[in-house]
Amino acid sequence: MHEPEWLAPASLEEALALKAERTDATVVAGGTFVGILVNQHLLAPTAFLSLGGIRGLRFVAEHEGELRLGALATHRAVELSPLVREKWPALARAFSLVASPRVRNRATVGGVLGDADYASDPPSMFVALGARVVVQSRHGAREIPAEELIVGYYETSLAPDELIVEVIVPGGPHRAAYRKFRTRSHEDRPSVGVAACARDGGLRVVVGAVAGRPQYFPELCTGEPASIAQAYAEAIDPIGDISGSSEYRRRVIAVEVRRALEEIAA
C-alpha cells in the first residue's frame, strides 16, 4: 500500500492550481475530521492537499459592518474573539461547544463547512445568521448562501476545483441563539442542534445533526414558538443512531426549537 502524497502549497494561488490538477487529493487544514476518517479506515486518500502553510486566511475581522472569517481561522479564534463575542455572540457560543479546546485549537472554519459533517455545530448557526461562503478557483470567486453549500452527508455544492476561502456573516441588530442537545459527554457531537435568528422582522430556524444537511424551512418560520417547533418536528424525518432514535430526536426537535425561540424572544 502506497503512502498518500503530501501536497503543501505555500500560497492560495498554488493551492488553487493544485486543486484543479489533483482532483483526487483530499483537502486538509486542521485535519481533525479527516484524521478520524483515515484512522477508522473510512477514507483512503491517494494524496493530501494541505492548506496549513497558506498565510492570509486566518483572519477574524469586521468589514463594512459584516463579520469576515478566513477559511483557516480556528474554532478557538472565533470562540474567543472579542468582536464575535460582542456582535455575534450566538456564533461564538456555537463554536465554543465543539468537542474540546484541543480540537478547537486545530479545527478551522473552512474545514467544518467543507467536511459537511452532519453532526457539527457551526454550519446550522451560519445558515441561521444568513452567512455567505466565498469559494474560489483559478477562474475566479463566487459566493454561496450557507444553506446551499452542504447538500447531503459529507457532500457540498463546491466544484471539483474550488476551495472555501472565506465566510461572511451579516451584521446589524439581531437576536440569535444556539442550543445543543447531546446524550453523552459534554464533548460529544450534538444529537440535535438548533440555531435561530430574528432579524429585520424575519426569522430563521435551522436544525442540525438530524439529516444530511442543516434543515431550514422558511415557510415554517412564522407563528408562535410552540407552533413553529411542532411544525419543524413534523417536517423533519430525523436519522436514528447511537445518539438517539428517529422518534426520540423528533421529540427533542420540538422541545429545543421552542426553547431557542423563547430564548431570542426573552
At residue 42, the pLDDT reads 75
At residue 33, the pLDDT reads 83
The per-residue b/e assignment along 166-193, b for 16 or more CB within 10 angstroms, e otherwise, is: bbbbbeeebebbbbbbbeeeeeebbbbb
* Stretches in the chain below the pLDDT threshold 70: 1
CATH of domain 60-169: 3.30.465.10
Going from the C-alpha of 68 to that of each of 54, 79, 123, 203, 241, the distances in angstroms are 17, 14, 15, 22, 35
Report strand pairing: 155-156 vs 163-169.
unpaired
At residue 201, the pLDDT reads 94
Determine the Cα–Cα distance for residues 79 and 56; give it in Å rounded to an integer.
Answer: 19
End-to-end CA distance of the chain: 58
Q: Which CATH number fits domain 175-265: 3.90.550.10, 3.30.300.10, 3.30.470.10, 3.30.390.50?
A: 3.30.390.50
At residue 1, the pLDDT reads 55
Q: Where are the alpha helices (DSSP H) in the chain?
A: 12-21, 32-39, 75-80, 82-87, 89-96, 101-104, 109-114, 122-128, 146-149, 225-235, 246-265
- What the block records as the C-alpha cell of 182 is 447531546
Query: What would the pLDDT profile of 228-241 be if each residue is shown by its tens digit?
Result: 999 999 999 999 99
Lateral strand order in the sheet of 132-137:
60-63, 66-70, 163-169, 132-137, 140-145
Determine the Cα–Cα distance for residues 156 and 135; give it in Å rounded to an integer.
Answer: 12
Where along the chain do its domains lie? Answer: 5-50, 60-169, 175-265
Mean pLDDT of the chain: 96
